[in-house]
């Protein structure tokens, strides 16, 4: 018995060691990006390369210099950081990205939940056939839709505004509808019947029963679409034509291409500013994310 227990412990240790090693491989590019953003320019191309900036300190001087900038004794700017760059206005692009992302996430969660409820809980002729048709739209890539969407939005006068980026979210997407429909199907129908006896309509059942029980799944949809909107580059590139409307993805590309070659330490600092909010959001919501994927409508 003791030998079997020891083998089980060693097996778990080996599995954890492999998982930690794989995790470090995936995290290495992010760690290298963060490390490069804290180095002076001459250390970014050092041979052999170093992971930590030199000299090593708790708050490296280059953290302030690369991200915010540096002032002389008279208060004059002697080095502009990423956040204070005079050409690429990252604070403005951050506000634009947050505005578009929150509008799109709200529309996506509301529309996808309502459509999924219709497919999961309402009986009507042709429901399954239409659901298959909705799923088939997942096979249509965005480049195929770019031209028709651009023509439609141009006729509506929306080109050069944020509307093409968030208004389509109020019509849902096939993947999110599928995800929520499958979750709604796990909620016992006895709850619907009990609610109808109490006089609830479909809207009452949806708002008072389905939505409270589906918060993990709704959170997953919100997280997925927020990450999509935050990282979206092609949509803003097509529909926005004013620099003061750029999102962070376009701002990063603009920062990379401005005035020739940008030093690697500053480019990595800008990349950290773009990536960091999503990474922090994922770590803060990972418990809800896992629960929304793994759990069902009710727990026993």
CATH of the domain at 152: 1.10.3720.10
In which domain, by residue range, is 66 found? 2-80
Going from the C-alpha of 91 to that of each of 163, 232, 245, 263, the distances in angstroms are 21, 18, 12, 20
Helices 90-121 and 215-231 pack at an angle, to 10 degrees, of 140
69-71 and 77-80 as β-strands: parallel, antiparallel, unpaired? antiparallel
59 pLDDT more than 70: no
**Element counts in the chain: helices (H) and strands (E):** 15, 2
Residue where a domain terminates, one of 57, 80, 103: 80
Looking at the 3D structure of the chain, how many domains does it have?
2
Q: Looking at residue 73, what is its pLDDT? A: 61
Last residue of a domain, one of 56, 80, 104: 80
**Does any domain span residue 299?**
no
Same domain, 64 and 197: no
pLDDT classification of 296: cutoffs 50, 70, 90: very low
Which residues in the chain belong to E strands, given as ranges? 69-71, 77-80
pLDDT value of position 177 = 96
What is the per-residue pLDDT for 71? 63
> For residue 299, what pLDDT is reported?
44
- Among 80, 101, 133, residue at a domain's last position: 80
In a domain, 85, yes or no: no
Residue 169 near residue 108, CB atoms below 8 Å: yes
288 CB-contact burial (10 Å; exposed 0-12 / middle 13-18 / buried 19+): middle
Record the tokens describing residue 289, joined without a space: 């994310």
pLDDT at 57 over 70: no
pLDDT at 75: 57
**Range 71-81 burial, b when 16+ CB lie within 10 A, else e:** eeeeeeeeeeb
Q: Looking at residues 106-134, what average pLDDT do you find?
A: 94
Which range among 91-105, 156-170, 274-288 shows the weakest confidence by mean pLDDT?
Answer: 274-288
Q: Are residues 131 and 22 in the same domain?
A: no
**17 and 121 fall within a common domain:** no
Kindly state whether residues 131 and 229 are assigned to the same domain: yes
The pLDDT tens digits of the residues spanning 140-150 come to: 988 899 999 99
Does 50 share its domain with 147?
no
| Confidence tier at 154 by pLDDT (50, 70, 90) | very high
């Amino acid at each position: 018995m003791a030998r079997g227990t020891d083998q089980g412990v060693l097996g778990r240790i080996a599995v954890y060691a492999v998982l930690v090693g794989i995790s470090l491989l995936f995290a290495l590019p992010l760690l290298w990006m963060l490390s490069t953003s804290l180095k002076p320019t001459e250390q970014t191309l050092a041979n052999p390369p170093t992971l930590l900036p030199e000299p090593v300190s708790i708050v490296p001087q280059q953290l302030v210099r690369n991200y915010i900038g540096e002032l002389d004794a008279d208060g004059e700017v002697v080095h502009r950081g990423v956040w204070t760059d005079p050409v690429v206005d990252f604070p403005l692009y951050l506000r634009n990205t947050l505005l578009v992302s929150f509008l799109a996430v709200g529309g996506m969660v509301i529309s996808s939940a309502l459509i999924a409820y219709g497919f999961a809980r309402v009986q009507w002729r042709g429901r399954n056939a239409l659901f298959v048709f909705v799923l088939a739209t997942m096979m249509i890539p965005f480049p195929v839709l770019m031209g028709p969407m651009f023509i439609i939005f141009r006729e509506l006068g929306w080109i050069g505004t944020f509307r093409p980026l968030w208004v389509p979210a109020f019509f849902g997407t096939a993947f999110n509808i599928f995800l929520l429909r499958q979750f709604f199907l796990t909620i016992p129908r006895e709850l619907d019947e009990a609610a109808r006896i109490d006089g609830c309509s479909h809207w009452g059942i949806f708002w008072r029963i389905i939505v409270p029980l589906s918060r993990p799944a709704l959170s997953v949809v919100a997280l997925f679409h927020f990450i999509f909107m935050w990282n979206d580059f092609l949509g803003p590139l097509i529909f926005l034509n004013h620099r003061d409307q750029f999102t962070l993805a376009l701002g990063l590309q603009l920062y990379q291409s401005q005035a020739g070659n940008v030093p690697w330490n500053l480019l990595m600092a800008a990349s950290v500013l773009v990536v960091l909010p999503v990474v922090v959001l994922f770590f803060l919501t990972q418990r809800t994310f896992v629960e929304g994927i793994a759990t069902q409508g009710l727990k026993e």
